[in-house]
Amino acid sequence: MGVSTSRISEYLNGKSEPTLKIAREISRKLDIEASIVLGV
């Protein structure tokens, strides 16, 4: 994905927001809803 594990942790903890493309990739790879990654 080109994103560090610490950056993914920041996304999941709401400390920063991923791009839509990265959010989709994270949700697919972790098999979770995109809304969790986007904090919606």
Domain count, the chain: 1
pLDDT at 36: 79
pLDDT at 31: 93
pTM given for the model: 0.64
**40 or 15: which leads in pLDDT:** 15
Domain that residue 29 falls in: 5-38
Alpha helix stretches (DSSP H) within 1-40: 5-12, 20-30, 34-38
